[in-house]
Amino acid sequence: MNGVVRTLTTTCEQLREQGHEVMVVSPDQFASLPCPTYPEIRLALTRPGAVAGRLREFSPEAIHIATEGPLGMTARRYCAKHGIRFTTAYHTQFPDYLAKRTHLPAEWFWRYIQWFHRPAKRVLVATESICEELRAHGLTQLHRWSRGVDLSCFTPDAPPPPEFADLPRPIQLYVGRVAVEKNIEAFLEADYPGSKVVVGDGPSLASLKARYPEAHFLGRRSGRALAGCYAGADVFVFPSKTDTFGLVMIEALACGTPVAAFPVAGPRDIVTLDVGAMSEHLDRAIASALYCNRQACAEYGASFSWSAATGQFLSGLAAFEPVELPAA
């Protein structure tokens, strides 16, 4: 479970509640292999005909390709071959992400991103900063698709976890995958007094625990327990430089907790002076964010609605008329 998965699952739930029929073609429906360096992500092994058969049986009015992985590649190839319109989404800064994991130039991976998304009728993008970056790489058929917060769960009155009771203040919190691309070391090395707490799991967890024994690692939390971590913290720290949005930031804000971040895509589009601070030096951002009004943070976080975000998704789809699929 991560921000992309939460976005997709919540959007599907919203669409079904509105009366739409949704079919999801995902790796759990096929034989799969763990993604190298990211085993929680499964890479599907399938024949193109298997995906084509599901599409023909469902007879969709719109086709949306959510990710650039093997299933997305199969669907893209099928749609492009038969002249079928489709949309895609750019959820993750894959060029930067892969550059960190492979130590190869990010521009090499941009070539694949450009190729993959070029035939899409629209590319759905979460923020204006990412729109600007994609335009600079020649992708101009862009449509904004924001994100939302479950306001029945993420509220300022969520009870904090018992682990917070005796921690020196201010409590500085990170929530998310514990992996190299999240740049968590920058948070753990920030020179600001108080307590640093990490909530989440991932391949870098064991090494970070060993390298930063003074930090507090709470493991994976979800639902109201996660909301309590947000609400009980004094500041939420978002050190990532590879996310296109950062759903955890608006969840923290909805719980009344200000955000400290680097001035990069994602935070630049979300964090205002009223609800957080950005700096190339995280300790300075943390110090400034602590002065923000928590009520203002909660009100701002509550403005991100899944209903509105789903409306943006619907308006971005390529068509609301039957897609002409070729015979088997």
From the list 70, 35, 27, the residue with the least C-alpha distance to 181 is: 35
Coil, helix or strand for 308?
A: helix
116, 92 contact by CB (below 8 A)? no
- Kindly state whether residues 14 and 91 are assigned to the same domain: yes
On whether residue 227 sits in a domain, the answer given is yes
CA angle 141, 142, 148 (to 5 degrees): 160
On whether residue 66 sits in a domain, the answer given is yes
What are 196-253's pLDDT values in tens digits? Answer: 999 999 999 999 999 999 999 999 999 999 999 999 999 999 999 988 899 999 999 9
pLDDT at 50 over 70: yes
- Kindly state whether residues 96 and 135 are assigned to the same domain: yes
- Kindly state whether residues 70 and 8 are assigned to the same domain: yes
Coil, helix or strand for 200?
A: coil
On whether residue 327 sits in a domain, the answer given is no
* Bridge partners, residue 172, by sequence: 196, 235
pTM for this predicted structure:
0.88
pLDDT of residue 123: 97
Q: Which CATH number belongs to the domain containing residue 172 in this structure?
A: 3.40.50.2000
Q: Can you give the residue range of the structural domain that contains 69? A: 3-147+308-316
pLDDT at 282 over 90: yes
- Kindly state whether residues 190 and 253 are assigned to the same domain: yes
